[in-house]
A and B are shown apart, each in its own frame.
Chain A
């Protein structure tokens, strides 16, 4: 879904469920405390709350104090519209909220999406379905093996903002001494464990083969397998596929929020700048697969079907 990209390059401040200025102030206050609010172009989504020009100006000032700027305003209130116009803010319209809120979300976002794409062209991590068509796989992210690779990669592709990467390599050179003998066996011959429960914090799953979990893996849990690991749910926690050195092992999840990704001897950790809620239960899934390509952990967006 395009949502994750937008939230990383731009920001939607959704205050549409606030009815009074008190609510708006308190919602805005907590949003402004998030780290990723800084330096973003913001779409200010209001509901039908009426804001005077002075009030809208104060909101604008608060947002600008976080070094961000208001790209556009979405509102269904005439009063607010007038105020926004008088402040030279771009307005986008939304019809009354229908029962199925999904649809109403899509409309303004798609508009903003095209705006952002025009502005920020040098993304390696963009998932823009409109642009890349006919490809079986879309790369979400390449996690370089070491710092120096990362630098050169950044230079090659133009501009990569490291803070927007979801995973960064974990420098394990002085931590892990043991050299695991690397091999590359097909994993489909291995036995497979099929579990239909959620792994909670503190639970470790060790298996000599492939693992399938129908459920979530909460942060604090560990899955260590010699083969592939597939989580039909939200993957938090630590996951280690190909633990015996098998570099062809893969990790798949409906939602990839793992604290650490380990395949064979390569380690990657979740970036600190990404603000992922501790346990994210969601019905919006983004299936992804992690595997090793060219000595790097790469995360693919859609699952390859050979």
Chain B
């Protein structure tokens, strides 16, 4: 008996529903959310880590092409049994040869510094490099840094920015060249510690 009422009611409602424009079907929403969630569950990539990966990819690719960073889409897709990582990149414009060369050079320089760090030599070349690196310190030295600072650092590297030579510990700059991600992690840890202390 109750079925009957439920049926009638839902039929009436559906009649009105179908004549309206519905935005996004709830099933589509559910499906997309579910796919995302399952990819995370299956691959151990939390949203936070995925964001970092996305950031690093952006920086890497930005060296060679100008990207619309907002519209960059990074997702896992499933083709039957196979899982694939899909990256969709809207290209605003190509970078000029100069820009590409510059980017490559910067990369090379960083590598050199990394090697030279082991020797702990203070050569003029290093100074130049260090000055450039110091630009990034601005972002790093902010209190309560989060991953954002990581991205900020890297962005600054590419853009022709003003250099603000601040005197910092040389150790800090040396450490930074190699794994920048580690640095921001340390900062994060420190930030967490201070916030814990504050509490």
Contact = CB atoms under 8 A, between A and B. Distances in A.
Interface of A: 22, 25-26, 28-30
B2 to A, nearest CB: 6
* The 4 residue pairs across chains A and B that have the minimum distance between CB atoms: A29-B1, A26-B1, A25-B1, A26-B2
A22 B1 CA distance: 9
Nearest to A27: B1
Contacts of A29: 1-2
Nearest to A25: B1
Interface string B1-44: 11001000000000000000000000000000000000000000
Contacts of B2: 26, 29
A271 to B, nearest CB: 28
Contacts of A30: 1
A26 to B, nearest CB: 5
A199 to B, nearest CB: 35
A51 to B, nearest CB: 17
A53 B180 CA distance: 88
Interface residues of B, number: 3
B7 to A, nearest CB: 14
Nearest to B3: A29
B6 to A, nearest CB: 11
B37 to A, nearest CB: 35
Nearest to B1: A29
A28 B5 CA distance: 15
A252 B81 CA distance: 64
Given A22-B5, A29-B1, 7 more contacts: A25-B1, A26-B1, A26-B2, A26-B5, A28-B1, A29-B2, A30-B1
A29 B3 CA distance: 11
A37 to B, nearest CB: 15
9 contacts: A22-B5, A25-B1, A26-B1, A26-B2, A26-B5, A28-B1, A29-B1, A29-B2, A30-B1
A115 B61 CA distance: 94
Nearest to A33: B1
A26 B2 CA distance: 7
B1 to A, nearest CB: 3
A29 B2 CA distance: 9
Contacts of B5: 22, 26
A30 B1 CA distance: 8
B51 to A, nearest CB: 47
Contacts of B1: 25-26, 28-30
Contacts of A25: 1
Contacts of A26: 1-2, 5
B10 to A, nearest CB: 17
A34 to B, nearest CB: 14
Contacts of A22: 5
Nearest to B2: A26
A23 to B, nearest CB: 10
A21 to B, nearest CB: 12
Nearest to A22: B5
A33 to B, nearest CB: 9
A29 B4 CA distance: 11
Interface string B68-103: 000000000000000000000000000000000000
A25 B2 CA distance: 9
Nearest to A30: B1
A239 to B, nearest CB: 37
